[in-house]
Every structure is written in C-alpha cells, then in structure tokens.
C-alpha cells in the first residue's frame, strides 16, 4: 500500500467549495465507509476543518486510488469530479508524509503556527480509528505527525504569538470598530471547540459583556459560566444580536444561522448611531447567509476574507526552524517505511528456506530410517543453524540497503533471484490537471 493525500484548502478553493466538501461530525463515519468501499483504498482518515478538507489514504495504486477518492469527494460536494479537480491538491508517498507533518506543525495553516490543527488532526485520527478505517500505515503516519507537531511547538517559537484563526479575525474586526475591541459587547454563536476558543480569546481581549448561545443550551451554559459570560437561548438570537457590536459564529450547522432576516430584524432593534455590526463567520459551511454583508451597517469577515488579507504573523519567523524539523522527520519516516516495505520480502525468503529444510529433512527420514530420534534432531538443528547463518548477513544487509533512497530495488532483486511470492503495489500513473506532488514531481507544498 502507498500513501496518498487528496484535499482542498483555503489555498486552492474558495469557501463556497470548502463548505460543500465539509464533513459534519455525524457524516464522518459514512464517508470513511464509502472511501473504504472503493477498490483501491485500503485505509482512510478524513480531516475536515474551517479551512481544509483532506483525505489521507493508503492505496494500492496511485491512479486508481486518486480516482476513487476524487469520486467520493465529488459525491460529497455534489460537484462533477472534473470541476472539483481544479481545487484539489494531491501528495503521494514522500510528499504525502511531508504534507502531513507540515499540517501538524502549523506550517500549512492560514495562521502560521496555530496549534488548533493538532487537536483537529488528533480528532480525525481518533474518528478513523473508531470506525476501523485506519490501518497500520495510517496509524504510523498520524501518530508520527502528531508527535512532529508537538515537537515543532515545543522546540521553536512558531506559536509564541498565540495566533489562531480567531485572533486573526478579531484583528480584522478591530479595524472596523473605533477604539478597538475592549469594552465592546459580543456574542458567540456555537459552543464547540471553535466556539470555546472564541470565548476564551474574547475574554482575554477584554471584550465585554460577553454572551454565548448554542443549539444545546446546557453546553452554552457551561461555557458561559467558565468565562463569566451570559448564556442566551438560541430562540432569542435576534435580540442578542441587536445588543452587541461583534458576533463570532462558529457552529457545526449545515444551514446558515445568521440569516438575512435575523440580521435585518436585529439591525432594526439596534440603538441609532451604534456603529457597524461586525459578523465573524468562522464556520464551514458558513453560518452567515450570503447577502447579509450587503445590509447597511454590517461587516462580514469570513474565511475567504482572512485568506485574502491575512499577513504572516510573528510566528512565521520560526517557520524555517520548523521546516528543518519536518525535513529531518520526513526522512526518518521514509527510512522506516522503506525498511517496513522490505520486511515481507525477508520474511518470504526465510519462509522459503524453512520449506526447503523441511522437505530435505523429510527426504532424509525416508532414506535413513535407521537414524535414532536424537540423531534426527541433531541433523535438523545443524541444517537449520547452517541456513540461518547463511541468510543472516544478506537479510541484515538488504534491510540496511532498503533504508537508503532507491533501496526498494534490492528487495525486488531478492524476489527475482529466489522467485518469492510477495504481494506488490500497483504501478503509479500520472494524473493531469491537479495541484500535486505526485510520482513525477518533487515533494512540495500545495500551491
């Protein structure tokens, strides 16, 4: 099996495409099952966040695996595969490993160095493990990616500015509000991970008074209590919006929560001369209905806005140090991977040797029935010892050679010399019209 990553992110697709690709938590297991039902896909993990949707897969062939994954993503998005392809990137084998490690380290994030992606990647991995769609290859890849991400944050200052999507959005909001954010009333819609991060960030920025609303009232109440905020029933959303200057929307709803009607009625109830109502839409699919930004006195900041105008923060100065960590970790993983690939060949060679020894001992027993049991046992031990010594040096050496670039040729030579039956991966094909680091390209980021 070979590693393959297929996805779309804020770099390659607008929010309109990302929200169609987005996988809600309740839909995660069904899409994982659909992926594993494809003929070329043996393992799968799906990462779906506010600015990326990616499939990490172990496939038996590049072309077939890519076609299978694209078909499932196209079905998820309700978009023809050919149209969706323009927004997808593809990473294969070494490039897939590098991409996974870059994502976990925050190098590929909209806000360089943000730590939230580690938790999101961990959740995606746990979901695949629970659905039994992550096998040996993806277990190893994701475990190592999470370790590399933790190492990057521990050994560098890439996240010292504490930047994340919420802080970036609030920085944009501050440019629309005279006097900044402190002392401004705000509402957070949603009490999940992003909602909790929003409440915590707003609290640190001294935004007050602060209110929280959520479809599940108990969750909103617990979050509000933790930060000295007020829980508001979702049924009172219009009234709550009318009393604040900032709304952070971060729900998992598949439909807009802040509709044109809700916002229009809220505007009608606002005090005259309050200034703009800033809506920060951090959800994918979007929580703010298209067209709301056209209402007078409303500013909408969404993922597209952030992707277009976000400058690299202070943490980006440490990107080179993290990139060096990633580079070394990628090579270490590929060395392990090449060694793991030769293991079945070595096992098959030893198995063939055992079969030959067993057959010859059986022949000896038929020809020399006069041998005692002790004599037969001594002969068997001697023959096994001779064979093991003969195989020791070449099998150790082939493992060493396999760990080097191009080392797969040594395992292939062993298979030919000894006519060993070892399952092989399908040949790699070239697929055009995708942002890829595939078989014919050097590893790189999705540009």
* Beta-carbon contacts of residue 30 (< 8 Å; ≥ 6 apart): none
Decide if 125 contacts 146 (C-beta within 8 A).
yes
Strand, helix or coil for residue 258:
strand
Sheet with 435-437, side-by-side order of all strands: 41-49, 52-59, 2-9, 89-92, 435-437
- H helix runs in 191-318, sequence order: 193-204, 217-226, 237-242, 260-269, 303-309
Q: Which helix (H) or strand (E) holds 94?
A: helix 94-105
Quote the strand ranges of 277-389, DSSP E.
Answer: 277-281, 298-301
Active site residue 70: no
- Give helix 116-130 / helix 193-204 axis angle, nearest 10°: 160
- 10: DSSP letter: T
Q: For tokens 């044109």, what's the residue?
A: 260
Distances (CA, A) of 90 to 19, 20, 40, 65, 95: 19, 19, 16, 11, 9
Q: Which helix (H) or strand (E) holds 168?
A: helix 165-174
The Cα–Cα gap between 403 and 309 comes to 44
Sign of CA dihedral 100, 103, 106, 112: positive
The Cα–Cα gap between 232 and 223 comes to 11
* Beta-carbon contacts of residue 15 (< 8 Å; ≥ 6 apart): 284, 286, 302, 303, 304
The Cα–Cα gap between 52 and 11 comes to 9
The active-site residue, picked from 50, 77, 131, 237, is: 50
Residues facing residue 99 across a β-bridge: none
The Cα–Cα gap between 142 and 101 comes to 9
Catalytic residues: 50
């Amino acid at each position: 099996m070979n590693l393959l990553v297929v996805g779309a992110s804020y770099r390659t697709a607008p929010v309109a495409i990302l929200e169609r690709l987005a996988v809600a938590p309740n839909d995660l297991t069904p899409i994982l099952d659909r992926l594993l039902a494809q003929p070329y896909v043996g393992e799968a993990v799906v990462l779906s966040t506010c600015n990326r949707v990616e499939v990490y897969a172990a496939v038996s062939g590049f072309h077939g695996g890519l076609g299978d994954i694209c078909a499932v993503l196209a079905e998820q998005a309700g978009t023809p595969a050919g149209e969706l392809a323009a927004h997808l990137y593809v990473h294969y084998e070494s490039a897939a490993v590098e991409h996974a490690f870059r994502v976990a380290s925050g190098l590929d994030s909209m806000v360089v160095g943000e730590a939230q992606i580690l938790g999101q990647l961990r959740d995606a991995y746990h979901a695949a493990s629970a659905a039994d769609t992550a096998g040996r290859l993806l277990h190893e890849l994701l475990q190592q990616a999470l370790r590399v991400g933790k190492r990057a944050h521990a050994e560098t200052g890439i996240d010292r500015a504490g930047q994340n999507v919420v802080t970036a959005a609030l920085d944009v909001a501050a440019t629309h509000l005279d006097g900044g954010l402190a002392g401004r009333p705000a509402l957070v819609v949603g009490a999940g991970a992003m909602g909790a991060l929003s409440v915590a960030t707003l609290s640190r920025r001294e935004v007050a008074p602060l209110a929280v609303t959520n479809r599940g009232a108990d969750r909103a109440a617990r979050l509000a209590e933790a930060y000295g905020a007020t829980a508001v029933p979702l049924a009172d959303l219009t009234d709550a919006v009318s009393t604040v200057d900032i709304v952070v929307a971060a729900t998992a709803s598949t439909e807009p929560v802040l509709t044109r009607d809700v916002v229009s009625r809220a505007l009608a109830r606002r005090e005259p001369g309050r200034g703009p109502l800033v809506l920060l839409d951090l959800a994918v699919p979007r929580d703010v209905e298209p067209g709301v930004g056209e209402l007078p006195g409303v500013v909408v900041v969404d993922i597209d806005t952030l992707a277009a105008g976000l400058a690299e923060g202070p943490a980006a100065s440490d990107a080179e140090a993290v990139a060096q960590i990633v580079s070394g970790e990628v090579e270490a993983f590929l060395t392990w991977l090449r060694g793991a690939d030769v293991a079945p060949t070595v096992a098959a060679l030893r198995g063939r040797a055992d079969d030959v020894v067993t057959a010859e001992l059986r022949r000896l027993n038929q020809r020399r029935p006069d041998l005692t049991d002790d004599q037969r046992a001594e002969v068997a031990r001697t023959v096994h010892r001779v064979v093991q010594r003969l195989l020791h040096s070449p099998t150790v050496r082939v493992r060493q050679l396999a760990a080097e670039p191009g080392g797969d040729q040594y395992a292939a030579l062993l298979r030919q010399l000894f006519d060993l039956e070892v399952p092989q991966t399908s040949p790699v094909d070239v697929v055009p019209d995708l942002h890829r680091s595939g078989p014919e390209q050097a590893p790189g980021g999705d540009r």
